[in-house]
Amino acid sequence: MPSKRKNLEAVAALAKCSASSVSRALSGSGYVSEKLRAKIRAAADKCGYRRNEPLSRAMSAVRSSRPNIETVAFVNTKSVRDVSKSYSAIARYVAAAKRQAERLGLNVCDIWLGEKNFTPSKFEKIMSARGIRGGIIFGHYYKNSIPEGFKKIIGKFKFVSMGVRANAPVAKSVYMDRFLITRGFTERIIRAGYSRVGFVVERFADSYENGKFSGGFLRAQLACKNAHPIPPLFFGRDEKGNLKRLADYINRYSPDAVFSYSTDISDTIESADLRPSKKPKFFHYDERYFSPETGAIKNQSEVGKLAVLTLAEILRGYAAPVSETAIEPKWK
């Protein structure tokens, strides 16, 4: 008779997941998403897998004597619920964070602050009613800054900011190093043969990051001998004014390439009505605008993984040794 391990592996192969996920799904222990749980049960039925009921009942009794499994909140502050369609970097952070949460046996409660009639009071009630002591918060940047009412609630729990420096009272922030990202992309654009590289950044964002965006761009121009330095263009909050500033910037400096970190800015640039002879090549490190000339960052998932590991340590009572961790980008 095949061993239980081989049976689990057969189900795992059919469901395209790990044997440990199969074990958790069929035993009801640990976190497994409902979608994956249904897929595993269907695979188990197809493989003819049968649980050892006496043993399962015994293990259930053991689990019931243990403390409840920890649930953590994943709080999305973006204006859209599904970040995968417009924010590929954030989507990778979230996916990696949820995988790490599953490995640690943590349940995940998804919360979207953009939900209709969602108030700070309702937010606090959900956290308290479900016994949630903390979580991961992401997407709070520029247009998606956290409202003051929600900041007060966040401060009552243990949160880790994922992807950006926090503008709320959190235990720690984990994000990619903005200076190194901007410098790396600018250098790669120049090495690809573009000598007059422009850079567009929101003034608010650059100030918020203590000049790391513009600093990385300017440092790259100094480091590359074949570069003809062009100053960065700072966008404001007026979209119509930004389009005019962009056109004036391109007409004045004649860049052969323009780089931006923001998907909102890149969308604005792509929609700009510029004369074909003046329109430069646009680059962006989001995969929606991927270019083989520059490559892409391959370790963005580390942000999500480290954010959850940090949260788990904080929930265990260990204080974060530093308030922020900036991860060095690696390129592919």
Average pLDDT over residues 165-189: 89
- Asked, colleague to colleague, whether 71-176+300-327 and 178-289 share their fold, the answer is yes
Answer yes or no: is pLDDT of 56 > 80. no
Spelled out in words, what is the top-level CATH class assigned to the domain 178-289? alpha beta
The token duo for 184 is 């790396």
| Residues 239-248: tens digit of each pLDDT | 678 888 888 8
pLDDT in tens, 271-328: 666 665 667 888 876 666 667 788 778 888 999 999 999 999 999 888 766 688 999 9
Q: At what angle do helices 263-271 and 239-253 cross, to 10 degrees?
A: 70
The whole-angstrom separation of Cα 115 and Cα 112 is 6
pLDDT at 167 over 80: no
Q: Lowest-confidence range among 31-45, 187-201, 212-226?
A: 31-45
Domain ranges of the chain: 4-64, 71-176+300-327, 178-289
Tens digit of pLDDT for each residue in 255-284? 999 988 766 666 666 666 666 566 788 887
Q: Enumerate the H helices of 16-104 as residue ranges.
A: 19-27, 34-47, 53-64, 88-103
Whether residue 153 is predicted with pLDDT greater than 50 in this model: the reply is: yes
Res. 147: pLDDT tops 90: no
CATH architecture of residue range(s) 71-176+300-327:
3-Layer(aba) Sandwich (3.40)
DSSP 125: H
